[in-house]
A and B are shown apart, each in its own frame.
Chain A
């Protein structure tokens, strides 16, 4: 029995662990000799989390270079999110941002510095002074490796705190009580041995990151398979605003590898096939530093108008890229402030950015939506009003928390501003950790033991054990494979064998990525969504269900976890498509070509999607359907306006 289990070891999970352990309540507890039982579970080794790939910066109105005010950051966040932002959360984000960045500095982050020794800051798209005025330098940075710095510093501080980690464990189930009002624990699969563990916990925090692997072209690592969101769906919880996926405008051509926005902040300019710096036409005054969705759509518009260019590596391929012109940046300066960008361009495109144009293309980057949480990180279910007896309300799932990209406190709304993701993960991760600390302090597991009780003697424990047994049986089935064909047979089959046994999760993932990209990348219509849903229904869903491992040795059998990941992504894809379908408007990152305008009348609201069992007694087997309800946006200070840049 643990006091708290944290799933995920990126910025959000580690911030939560530190927020918890450094809280006054836990410090007092420790002084009484009662050590909290905390476990951080990660499907990766330490320090491999995708936080480490974030390049550009973390936003905070420190005002170290330009005069700044947190209210301006607050306003920019709301406007950037196309007013689909809960303003109570965004106010917290902006107000506590400077303290969050300074805490990171104290934790060891090697921030770049101003001449007088303060944390250096740079411009980032959509960050302005005076409520939408001149661009302001707000993104604190560490060359172009801010994510790496934050990930390593947080892990180092967790080492200092003696945090216990379960590495390369894959969480397969989030277990709640029957009424979905209380957390019971998680089931985890130890990839080293293939053992299934029932992990009982008073508190669980889900911090598993995003779901970029829904798309073929993505900046996300291979591990961003939407696990936490899929676990929440499977546990009968809702996802909020999952139709909003940010495409970063400058992926390195077809690789999807990200070139930081810092490249444009330092003077890089986007050009079309005619050499025109086209962003000035789409976003006067902001040009190349307009918000990301604006830039991504502008690039797509240029490509659609026949002014795109081909990836030079694929000269006969589609003209679906534009140029990023960095030749105006002084070479030495470029090396000094954009070393990672320069290295990526040289290594993966074989191009010298000081003299040559760089091909770029929008790449799936960030899921704005996710598991709905309060500003204290508590996961809740949105219960709409029944029109008569009860008002609409948020029902908190006791003991269940979420943070980071897999969650949705709704500070990003329909489109996230650059520099706000690390901030969200660190700030709301810390807050969630502190909230958990208060619950832990009330009745720590160690106290029960001290009083001679057995912490495992818990009303929810049998639920976790039952889920673990079911999962154990499934793992055995997966490992038993199809008629026991071994690796050599599979290798020799060469596509000619029986299609089912020849299928594998890696192939499925690739097919799903292509389908999703075609259907909803940057823009969509009811028709493209329907096409993708049909493909899921007729091909991908049955294939995912039929997957089996091609080798029976449980130790480090990556195919078993890949099968679960593929199933998670397929489930999430369906929810994302259904949510996109139900939002008949264009807002932020969601561009419905069949509904080109924002519709505040009907959709100034968060979509809350869940899976419901259709208990039709006539049906051969229980069917599930998606159900969408709408939660009004929380507007406090800034009523909706047109979002123009």
Chain B
């Protein structure tokens, strides 16, 4: 335990939701004006039916504790019914993307010291809107020892909420799957006389590897999608995650389907829908400059 002086008090303000028992009928059409939780509409695609409320949990924690540490403590000591996805706890599995004070990120990498802000009712109004200036990390005073801060948690924007902080990210996975996200090698393999492929790896120089290596680090957490105003706004945009997956193979010297891959994303809802806002890369937990990669893949599509 840290000495008591180092501890801070934090209130986790969680936007909760419990679905009503499902009925076998399709949801109503999207209505962008019926949204409550975020100006970009976490429920733009299908407004789920059920009970919504905000619940505060107050804990005494170390400033370096992560938001996930705090939520796990809530489950253990205060409220075992709070639902949120988590698994590895150190930023590799990609399960726990949540909007922290309105910004999508992994809660296992967000610390209390970084994200707790003074409890100021003017920051977010009853409708969940907040003034955009408040998200500027530099302008926020750091929480000192013994002080009390608030962290507001909402499900990842851009996806339908399923329960509490759990969002349905299947739309993203479907979009990734649609772009044939697997290596289709050129077939530059040596073949033995009886027709069997011999046991050698495809050769690839360190320089060729460097051209796509970082793109392979994507963990499909959805942070970029929740940050993208086009995607989260409910448009049909295929989204940055699927484009990163496509770009990963376009840039892999072993892959032989470059032209087909570029064709597949050269559509109105593909690269053409990207508005170069570059919000996608700001919180990428794997450090991928998603916006820059979008730019690069757009250039490749144009140049072909």
Contacts and interface: CB of A to CB of B under 8 A. Distances in A.
Nearest to A114: B206
A153 B90 CA distance: 21
A110 B92 contact: no
B95 interface: yes
B81 A156 contact: no
A149 B219 CA distance: 10
B206 A115 contact: yes
B213 A143 contact: yes
B200 interface: yes
Given A148-B219, A506-B75, A113 B204 contact: yes
A73 interface: no
A148 B92 contact: yes
Given A152-B216, A504-B75, A558-B83, A53 B93 contact: yes
A222 B182 contact: no
A301 B75 CA distance: 36
A344 B90 contact: yes
B203 A313 contact: no
Contacts of A495: 77
Interface string B166-207: 100100010001001111010001000000000111111110
A550 B14 CA distance: 18
A507 interface: yes
A490 B55 CA distance: 13
A156 B217 contact: no
Interface in B126-157: none
Nearest to A192: B162
**Range class of the A interface residue count:** 35 or more
A51 to B, nearest CB: 10
Interface residues of B, number: 64
B213 A110 contact: yes
Contact of B3 (A53, A316, A490): A316
21 contacts: A44-B93, A102-B201, A105-B202, A106-B201, A110-B212, A115-B206, A117-B204, A152-B216, A153-B183, A159-B181, A192-B162, A314-B1, A316-B1, A491-B79, A507-B77, A553-B19, A553-B163, A555-B18, A555-B22, A556-B163, A562-B80
A116 B202 CA distance: 11
Interface of B: 1-3, 18-19, 21-22, 55, 57, 62, 64, 72, 75-83, 85-95, 109, 162-164, 166, 169, 173, 177, 180-183, 185, 189, 199-206, 208-209, 212-213, 216-217, 219-220, 252, 254
Given A105-B201, A110-B209, A507-B76, A222 B87 contact: yes
B88 A117 contact: no
A416 interface: no
Contact of B203 (A50, A118, A148, A510): A118
Interface in A36-75: 44-50, 52-53
B57 A50 contact: no
Interface string A23-46: 000000000000000000000111
Nearest to B168: A192
A555 B163 contact: yes
Contacts of A113: 204-206, 209
Interface of A: 44-50, 52-53, 98-99, 101-102, 105-108, 110-119, 143, 145, 148-149, 152-153, 156-157, 159-160, 192-193, 221-223, 255, 257, 313-314, 316-317, 340, 344, 347-348, 350, 487, 490-491, 494-495, 504-507, 510, 549-551, 553, 555-559, 562
B285 to A, nearest CB: 10
Contacts of B199: 98-99, 102
A285 B169 CA distance: 51
A145 B217 contact: yes
A192 B166 CA distance: 11
A102 B185 CA distance: 13
Contacts of A110: 209, 212-213, 216, 252
A193 B21 CA distance: 9
A636 to B, nearest CB: 24
A106 B72 CA distance: 40
A350 B67 CA distance: 16
A495 B76 CA distance: 11
Q: Which of A49, A111, A317, A506 has the most B CB atoms < 10 Å from its CB?
A: A506
